[in-house]
């Protein structure tokens, strides 16, 4: 009798794979002692969370947003300002920022749910730019282009750590939270509603899918999670300004990371961050910022034209081939 | 009164420049159903072309415009063949991010080749003004304004009075039906895209004497162009011209009254409002915003 092996596609196999991945990620600071690589790893975790958040509204619901930096910025500024002005710990500030961004995301969702394709893209782009202009010019609140410096006060109770491994675990917690919510959505009724809407809105509506509510909930969750990433980023870098939080280029890069990895899947955006962020970092160090962005632009074009399902599709293909190879090997043994 | 006239005149001139970009962008959208995020990068290339021909050979931009525009037309042909035609009919993500990727690539190629230095071309037209009824008008701005209006008018005549123009309109209305009528749709795409980006390149050359030149110069304008194109109705050439002139005046007026930042904010707010309330814009066809095929 053949022994039933837990394959990677079965639910139990997936659970095992996630558990193994989590244990490996938990061990990273024990293995990697080099500050440079650990720092890069934390950046990857934050970007993976951010791209996962973008994917909830863009990949699942089909609303390609070019304004997500706005939510990232709202998260970063809310928690930092609460901490600086009122002494409220970022551990609480992160949730206040998420609530605020979630409300903004819901508002944007309500006013844009009818728009299709390029019109939706342009509306989110304009929204992002409005937030950026407000951020640059509302100097009394945000200090404008001068930015906010987070003083090293308090320590762990204020999400400010003296060592990198603590930031690694904060970033990992953020990623587990966003990926967890992403998986929960994918498997819930809402997830099926969103995919149905993305594929054929009229057909979904005629079958009783609540269009507005589903889209708005997705937009709000996506915005709230992007804000969480912003708050963690702020305590990690300890300096934020409009260019590093709400700029248009940032919105593009969020989309780029998710698209390169594979939008519409849970793990695609995480894979995208693991590819794009180190690649960008290495290129910047070796050949400079300009050429690094040339590669980004080229990569984006090639992926959307030649492999619109992203890198995750390639990984899955290799996985299938390997499994077939192993299966035939097993048959040969028997 | 004099001040109001001056502000309106400045706004109109700026609006004229925007019109040259906006007409091309709206034409590309109307015919190809592609939002060309890389549009202003062709303007940037035109500016650098004008700069280098001026700096190395001492050519005046008003001469070099006749050399650079054909080159950018050919570049448009290549881009259409390699990138645009491959993205047509694909999902939204391909259509949007292919040109966005091209925009990032061109900007940073310029940054890599020519550094972030701010360059400028100074010719007889750079600082000179002439006075009409007490209103001071920049010579260079007036020249590019006239060129923009001539181009828009010529394009309009071409689209409405010639057979090939009518073929382009037919493709814009229904690409399948047009193909069935024997129109070479791919040729129409190629022609439309190349002419539109060549116009953007020509504008870059014409404004070189007055605007500073740097790799990200396109980006400072592209969003304003999007605002104009949506206000005028994506796909509508007369709409783009009217909206461009309006936005120019609003920008100059609001900038004077409220300061640059709040002026900008005001027209973005209008933009969002129009997108939400009337996505087909003021001149656009009804239903253009839902028609994806």
Task: Give the DSSP letter string of A160-228.
Answer: --SSHHHHHHHHHHHHHHHHHHHHHHHHSHHHHHHHHHHH-HHHHHHTT--HHHHHHHHHHHHHHHHHH
- Chain A contacts of B227, Cβ < 8 Å? 126
Write down the pTM of the prediction: 0.88
Across the interface, of B97, B279, B290, the residue whose CB is closest to A259 is B97
DSSP B285: P
Which of B78, B98, B101, B230 is the best substitution to test chain A (most A C-beta atoms within 10 A)?
B101
Output the pLDDT for position A73. Answer: 95
Q: Which residues pair with B136 in a beta bridge?
A: B131
- CA nearest neighbour of A271 among A12, A104, A52: A52
**DSSP state for residue A59 in the 8-state scheme:** I
Distance from CA of B292 to the nearest CA of A (A): 8
pLDDT of residue B165: 87
d(Cα A59, Cα A105) in Å, to the nearest integer? Answer: 16
Q: Give A301's contacts in chain B (Cβ within 8 Å).
A: 83, 97-98, 101-102, 105
Taking CA atoms, what residue in B is nearest to A287?
B112
User: pLDDT confidence of A204, banded at 50, 70, 90?
Assistant: confident
Highest mean pLDDT among A16-25, A109-118, B76-85, B118-127: B76-85
Give the rounded percent of residues in chain A with a pLDDT score beyond 70: 95
- Ordered by start, the domain boundaries in chain A are 29-247
Q: Is the dihedral of CA A229, A235, A236, A240 positive or negative?
A: positive
Q: Report CB contact under 8 Å: A300, B262.
A: no
State whether residue B55 is helix, strand or coil.
helix
Q: What's the pLDDT at B290?
A: 41
Residue B188 near residue B168, CB atoms below 8 Å:
yes
* Three-class SS state of B293: coil
B93, B114, B269, B280, best to mutate vs chain A, most A CBs in 10 Å: B93
Q: How far apart are CA A97 and CA A115, in angstroms?
A: 27
Task: Tell which residue, A315, A278, A270, has the closest CA to residue A295.
Answer: A278
Q: CA of B269, closest CA in chain A: separation in Å?
A: 8
Phi/psi of residue B184, nearest 5 degrees: -80, 95
Q: Spell out which residues of chain B touch residue A263, defining contact as CB-CB under 8 Å.
A: 93
Name every residue in A having a CB less than 8 A away from some CB of B: 62, 64, 111-112, 114-119, 121-123, 125-127, 129-130, 133-134, 136-137, 248, 252, 255-256, 259, 263, 288-294, 296-301, 304-305, 308
| Residue A244 or residue B132, greater confidence | A244
Residue A301's closest chain B neighbor by CA?
Answer: B98
Q: Are B27 and B158 in contact (CB under 8 A)?
A: no
Q: At residue A310, what are phi and psi to the nearest 5 degrees?
A: 80, 180
Q: Within 13 Å and on the Cβ side, how many CA atoms surround A215?
A: 25
Measured in whole angstroms, the distance separating CA B36 from the mean position of its chain's CA atoms is 10
Candidates B97, B102, B106, B264, partner chain A, best to mutate (most A CBs within 10 A): B97
Q: A119 vs B267, which has greater pLDDT?
A: A119
| Range with lowest mean pLDDT among A77-81, A155-159, A253-257 | A155-159
Contact B268 A130 (CB under 8 A): yes
Mean pLDDT by 10 residues, chain B (293 residues): 84 89 90 90 94 91 92 95 88 89 93 87 79 81 88 89 87 84 87 93 90 87 86 85 88 78 75 78 55 38
Calpha distance A159→A169 (Å, rounded):
11
B220: nearest CA partner in chain A: A248
Cβ pair B108:A293 closer than 8 A: yes
- How large is the ipTM? 0.86
CA distance A261 to A274: 9
- Higher pLDDT among residues B160 and A47, named by residue: A47
Q: Which residue of A has its CA nearest to B228?
A: A122
Q: Which residues pair with B213 in a beta bridge?
A: B119
**How far, in Å, CA of A150 to CA of B210, rounded?**
42
């Amino acid at each position: 009798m053949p022994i039933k092996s837990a394959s990677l596609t079965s639910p139990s196999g997936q659970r095992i794979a996630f558990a193994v991945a989590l244990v490996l990620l938990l061990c990273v600071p024990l293995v990697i002692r080099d500050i440079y690589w650990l720092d890069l790893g934390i950046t990857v975790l934050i970007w993976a969370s951010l791209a996962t958040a973008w994917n909830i509204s863009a990949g699942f619901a089909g609303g390609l947003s070019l304004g997500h930096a706005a939510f990232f910025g709202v998260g970063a500024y809310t928690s930092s300002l609460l901490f600086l002005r009122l002494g409220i710990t970022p551990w609480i500030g992160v949730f206040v920022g998420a609530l605020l961004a979630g409300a903004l995301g819901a508002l944007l969702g309500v006013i844009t749910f009818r728009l299709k394709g390029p019109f939706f893209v342009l509306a989110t782009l304009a929204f992002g730019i409005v937030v950026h202009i407000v951020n640059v010019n509302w100097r009394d609140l945000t200090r404008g282009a001068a930015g906010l410096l987070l003083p090293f006060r308090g320590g762990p109770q204020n999400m400010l750590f003296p060592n990198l491994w603590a930031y690694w675990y904060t970033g990992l917690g953020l990623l587990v939270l966003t990926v967890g919510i992403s998986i929960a959505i994918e498997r819930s009724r809402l997830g099926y509603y969103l995919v149905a809407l993305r594929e054929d809105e009229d057909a979904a509506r005629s079958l009783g899918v609540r269009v507005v509510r589903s889209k708005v909930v997705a937009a709000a969750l996506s915005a709230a999670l992007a804000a969480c990433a912003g708050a963690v980023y702020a305590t990690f870098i300890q300096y934020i300004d409009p260019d590093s939080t709400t700029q248009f280029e940032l919105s593009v890069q969020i989309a780029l990371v998710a698209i390169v990895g594979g939008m519409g899947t849970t793990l695609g955006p995480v894979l995208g961050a693991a590819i794009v962020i180190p690649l960008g970092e290495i290129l910047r160090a070796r050949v400079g910022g300009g050429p690094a962005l040339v590669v980004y632009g080229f990569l984006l074009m090639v992926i959307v034209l030649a492999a619109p399902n992203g890198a995750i599709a390639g990984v899955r293909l290799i996985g299938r081939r390997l499994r077939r190879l192993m299966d035939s090997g097993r048959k040969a043994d028997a | 009164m004099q001040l109001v006239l001056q502000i309106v005149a400045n706004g109109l001139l700026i609006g004229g420049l925007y019109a040259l970009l906006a007409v091309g962008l709206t034409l590309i959208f109307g015919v190809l159903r592609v939002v060309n995020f890389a549009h202003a990068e062709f303007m940037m290339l035109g500016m650098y072309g004008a700069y280098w021909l001026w700096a190395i050979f001492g050519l005046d931009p008003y001469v070099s415009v006749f050399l650079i525009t054909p080159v950018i037309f050919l570049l448009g042909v290549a881009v259409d063949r390699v990138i645009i035609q491959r993205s047509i009919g694909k999902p939204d993500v391909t259509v949007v991010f292919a040109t966005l990727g091209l925009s990032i690539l061109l900007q940073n190629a310029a940054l890599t080749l020519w550094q972030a230095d701010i360059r400028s071309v100074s010719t007889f037209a750079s600082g000179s003004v002439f006075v009409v009824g007490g209103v001071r008008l920049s010579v260079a701005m007036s020249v590019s304004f006239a060129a923009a209006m001539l181009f828009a008018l010529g394009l309009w005549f071409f689209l409405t009075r010639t057979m090939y123009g009518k073929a382009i309109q037919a493709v814009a209305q229904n690409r399948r039906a047009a193909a069935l009528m024997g129109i070479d749709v791919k040729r129409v795409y190629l022609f439309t895209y190349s002419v539109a980006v060549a116009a953007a390149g020509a504008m870059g050359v014409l404004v070189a004497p007055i605007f500073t030149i740097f790799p990200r110069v396109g980006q400072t304008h592209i969003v304003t162009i999007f605002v104009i194109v949506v206000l005028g109705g994506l796909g509508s050439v007369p709409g783009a011209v009217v909206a461009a002139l309006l936005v120019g005046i609003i920008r100059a007026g609001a900038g004077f009254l409220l300061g640059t930042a709040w002026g900008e904010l005001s027209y973005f707010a209008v933009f969002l409002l129009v997108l939400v309330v009337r996505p087909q814009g003021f001149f656009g066809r009804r239903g253009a915003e839902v028609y994806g095929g």
